[in-house]
A and B are shown apart, each in its own frame.
Chain A
């Protein structure tokens, strides 16, 4: 029984878990609840404001991390959850699909943010 290479996925899972825990709730609140329901003042999601915000390279980097790491967090967690729910026979396929989706999402985020 050789030492596993799971640590690569587990560290992405952990980093993604921290990012998700610290950053995701406020973003859901801002774009999904506060803005549509007018809870906070001003039309803060208005096109020119947000467009200007995204001119900053740090904002793009922040968004890349915000999107990519929690995707790997989801991939690792969801992979084990599907096996726990009984899909043990196709566990390799599940791993490929989950981590593959996270990689695809990361690439998509990179493309969208920087081109």
Chain B
């Protein structure tokens, strides 16, 4: 296709490219879930550290958990964590293709056990922490 008179025009990609379409915003929010997950786990680690420092240090951490700011953070973090859970499970069949002869195991059959495991494990953990 070579010709000396070509002057290809390159369109710049703005830093706000991800705001231009719904699916890209969805993608960015999905990636952002990891920040909230990590932030919560850092707090979780701090809680364990305070536990090892003794009742007084631990208690002051628990008091902090009751503050409105902490509760708002955890509600937002939970929303993002659930968004991660749902998007992660729903995308599993893309990476994991199981075939029986010509047919492919339907995606729902790969997704459903994930949700089941999640519910069962969550109930078990809840039971251990609250009752156990």
Contacts and interface: CB of A to CB of B under 8 A. Distances in A.
A and B touch in the complex (CB under 8 A): yes
Interface of A: 17-18, 20-33, 35-37, 40-42, 44-45, 47, 50-51, 53-54, 63, 66-67, 70-71, 73-74, 77-78, 80-81, 84-86, 105, 108-109, 112-113
A51 to B, nearest CB: 6
Interface in B64-107: 65-66, 70-71, 73-75, 77-78, 81-82, 84-85, 88-89
B26 interface: no
Interface in B91-132: 114, 117-118, 121-122, 125-126, 128-132
B81 A28 contact: yes
B15 interface: yes
B37 A33 contact: no
B25 interface: no
B88 A17 contact: yes
Given A26-B126, A33-B78, A40-B130, A70 B45 contact: no
Main secondary structure of the interface of B (DSSP, over half): helix
B40 A44 contact: no
B4 to A, nearest CB: 31
A7 to B, nearest CB: 14
A47 B55 contact: yes
Interface residues of B, number: 50
B15 A86 contact: yes
B48 A20 contact: no
A44 B130 CA distance: 5
Tell me which of B18, B47, B66, B129 has the highest count of chain A C-beta atoms within 10 A of its own C-beta: B129
Contacts of A37: 71
Contacts of B129: 30, 44, 53
Given A24-B40, A105-B45, A112-B48, A30 B126 contact: yes
A41 B131 CA distance: 9
Given A21-B88, A54-B51, A77-B34, A27 B44 contact: yes
